[in-house]
Amino acid sequence: MALRNILKQGDETLTKRCRPVTEFNDRLHTLLDDMAETMRQADGVGLAAPQVGILRRAVVVLETNTPEGEEYVIELVNPQIIDADGEQEGPEGCLSVPGSYGLVRRPMHVKVRAQDRNGNFFELEGEGLTARAFCHECDHLDGHMFTELCDHILTDEELSAYHSRGEDQ
């Protein structure tokens, strides 16, 4: 596994729509392994392939709704959000926009249909931060950033008014 360079907002790659993954080969497996390692090293909870310069529909999300220390990485290839309900509003950040957070409204529960690294289809539900990460990462695959969904970037004072500091994705 290897760390990959995370592109920053302003890079044109982050505005492009990604193509579906069609080959579930070693190259994809290496990409997913590298993305997971890069996300963890950057202390993020999600990362999309275009953030490391690959215009393909693949993301990793850290499932944090687990006992402490038992977080695990979810791999979603060609993900589609097929159901969503509830609502949450909170600070959201992005590994491509380091140190900046904005208030973004997202569904509280999301169901995704995706393929695993071998091409098998599955469905998965996410709640809270995981639902937020599913939405955030799927937006990246269509060239969209969280900054398009918030009024403004929070000041330090505004951010500290929230219990959590926000999560980078």
As annotated, the active-site residues are 137
Q: Enumerate the β-bridge partners of residue 59.
A: 48, 76
Pick the closer one to Zn ion by CB: 9 or 119: 9
Considering the complex, what minimum distance in angstroms separates the CB of residue 26 from Zn ion?
26
Among 35, 62, 94, 110, binds Zn ion (CB under 5 A): 94
Tell me the CB-side half-sphere exposure of residue 130, using CA atoms within 13 A.
19
User: What DSSP character marks residue 76?
Assistant: E
Q: Which stretch binds Zn ion (CB under 5 A): 64-72, 86-94, 118-126, 149-157?
A: 86-94
Query: What is the rounded distance in angstroms from the CA atom of residue 98 to the CA atom of residue 101?
Result: 9
Q: Could you say whether residue 100 binds Zn ion (CB under 5 A)?
A: no
Pick the closer one to Zn ion by CB: 152 or 157: 152
Q: Enumerate the β-bridge partners of residue 114.
A: 122
Pick the closer one to Zn ion by CB: 77 or 146: 146
Considering the complex, what minimum distance in angstroms separates the CB of residue 118 from Zn ion?
26
Name the residue among 58, 42, 36 with its Cα closest to residue 138: 58
Pick the closer one to Zn ion by CB: 76 or 94: 94
Applying the rule CB under 5 A, the residues between 107 and 136 that interact with Zn ion are none
Chain position whose Cβ is nearest to Zn ion:
94
Which residues, other chains included, contact 164 with Cβ-Cβ below 8 Å and sequence gap of 6+?
Answer: 90, 91
Among 38, 100, 130, 169, binds Zn ion (CB under 5 A): 169
Query: What is the rounded distance in angstroms from the CA atom of residue 121 to the CA atom of residue 78?
Result: 10
Residue 106: φ, ψ to 5°: -135, 160
Question: Residue numbers of the site for Zn ion (CB under 5 A)?
Answer: 94, 169
